[in-house]
Amino acid sequence: MKEYEIFKEISHRQNKKITKQRSIIVKKIFSLHKHFSADELFKMLKKEYSGISRATVYRTLKVLVDMGFVEEREFGRGKKYYEHIIGHDTHSHFVCIRCGKIIEFKSEIIEQEIYKIAGEYGFEVDKISTIVYGVCKECREKGG
Amino acid sequence: MKEYEIFKEISHRQNKKITKQRSIIVKKIFSLHKHFSADELFKMLKKEYSGISRATVYRTLKVLVDMGFVEEREFGRGKKYYEHIIGHDTHSHFVCIRCGKIIEFKSEIIEQEIYKIAGEYGFEVDKISTIVYGVCKECREKGG
DNA sequence: CTGTATGCAAATCCTTTGCATGCCT
DNA sequence: AGGCATGCAAAGGATTTGCATACAG
């Protein structure tokens, strides 16, 4: 598992310890390919290993965000969602305000435009978050 | 004050009462030209009128969002920010991760591109939120 | 060993709600 | 009068933190 090796490598460089819990959490996160909240992750782990506290999940997520493995987003539901970055391109999101579905999309044009404007403002871009709220195709067809 | 007249008009149509508190809150919001959190608004009002509860501020903000006067955003700080819409175009934001400054910018290209892609997905756009995190010019010049 | 990391529970921050009361219309 | 709005305090949800203990390097 290449991603996990990278995680170990960076952990060493940053003096971070690879504990049993952290290792389980990280592997779980790399196995997920959709967005999850801290608590959802905690519940998944609890079912499978039942030896990881909620606090550790929260703390580990923060560490992973700092290390650049995981991205944190807010979709307007009052809590934070995460997704691992490795192997995932920068992308934008459609969020359905009826069913909550999240659809990812990618646009070079948007990215280029943002970098261009940022340049004009002297702003150094770190992370782009484009979220489009609306109604997905399925919900529209169901009527309303 | 034209905006306030519109607010009264829509309130009537929607059977909403115009109370002293609501009136003060609305006028305050229309006088603000930057983003604010519910609690920041509450504290501003408390200083000036000291007769409005936190609950009323929260409830009124929700009403105003529903009425379409105010937009709700999350800038990744774990709480919601608001800004009034009337007279404000749709726009995107640069958020400085050092000093917290928020810079607004506008791009037709981004909007057009989003509508185009949404069309391809059959997604009906309601609201677009583009937030670019990074370091502003001033903070970059201060070093780091 | 030494410094991180963990677990637990308590604490915090932001926001929402139940209920009795107040006040527009 | 009738119903929406308010205030208060309590409840709620998400996240963070203090502290003693455990464990990786």
β-pair partners for A35: none
In 3D space, the residue among A87, A86, A42, A89 whose CA is nearest the CA of residue A61 turns out to be A42
B87-143 pLDDT tens trace: 777 889 999 988 888 999 999 999 999 999 999 999 999 999 999 999 999 999 987
CA distances from B1 to A104, B26, B83 (A): 42, 12, 18
Chain B residues touching residue A81 (CB < 8 angstroms): none
A97 and A68 part of one domain: no
Exposure of B33 by Cβ count < 10 A (0-12 exposed, 13-18 middle, 19+ buried)?
exposed
Number of domains in chain B: 2
CB proximity B99 to A under 8 Å: no
CA distances from A74 to A14, A46, A81, B24, B141 (A): 27, 24, 6, 31, 30
* Percent of chain A as helix, strand, coil, to the nearest 5: 45, 25, 30
**Neighbour count for residue A143 (Cβ, 10 Å):** 5
A37 and A73 part of one domain: yes
The token duo for B76 is 């990744």
The pLDDT tens digits along chain A (144 residues) read: 688 999 999 999 999 999 999 999 999 999 998 999 999 999 999 988 878 999 999 999 999 999 999 999 999 888 999 999 877 788 999 999 888 889 999 999 999 999 999 999 999 999 999 999 999 999 999 875
In angstroms, the CA of B55 and the C1' of D9 are apart by: 11
Residue nearest to nucleotide D22 (CA to C1'): A19
Note whether A80 contacts B78, CB cutoff 8 Å.
yes
Residue A54 is part of a domain; what is its CATH number? 1.10.10.10
B80 and B96 part of one domain: no
Question: In the predicted model, what is the mean pLDDT of chain B?
Answer: 92
B8 and B27 part of one domain: yes
In this complex, how many residue pairs, one in chain A and one in chain B, have their CB atoms less than 8 Å apart? Answer: 120
In angstroms, the CA of A86 and the C1' of C8 are apart by: 33
A18 and A80 part of one domain: yes
Note whether A123 contacts B103, CB cutoff 8 Å.
yes
The answer to whether A136 and A98 have CB atoms below 8 angstroms apart is yes
CA distances from A75 to A21, A129, A131, B25, B108 (A): 28, 10, 7, 27, 23
The answer to whether B42 and B48 have CB atoms below 8 angstroms apart is no
- Of the three residues A37, A61, A84, the one that is the final residue of a domain is A84
Rounded to whole angstroms, how far apart are CA atoms A82 and A103?
A: 15
In this complex, the residue of A94, A126, A128 whose CB is nearest that of residue B118 is: A94
pLDDT-based confidence at B49, cuts 50/70/90? Answer: confident
Rounded to whole angstroms, how far apart are CA atoms B137 and B123?
A: 36
B61 and B130 part of one domain: no
DSSP code at position A103? E
Where is pLDDT greater, at B47 or A55?
A55
Range of the domain at B136: 92-142
A46 and A98 part of one domain: no
A41 and A20 part of one domain: yes
Threshold 0.75, pTM exceeds: yes
Residue B138 is part of a domain; what is its CATH number? 3.30.1490.190
Chain B residues touching residue A122 (CB < 8 angstroms): 136-137, 140
The answer to whether B89 and B106 have CB atoms below 8 angstroms apart is yes
| Beta strands B92-96 and B124-135, pairing class | parallel
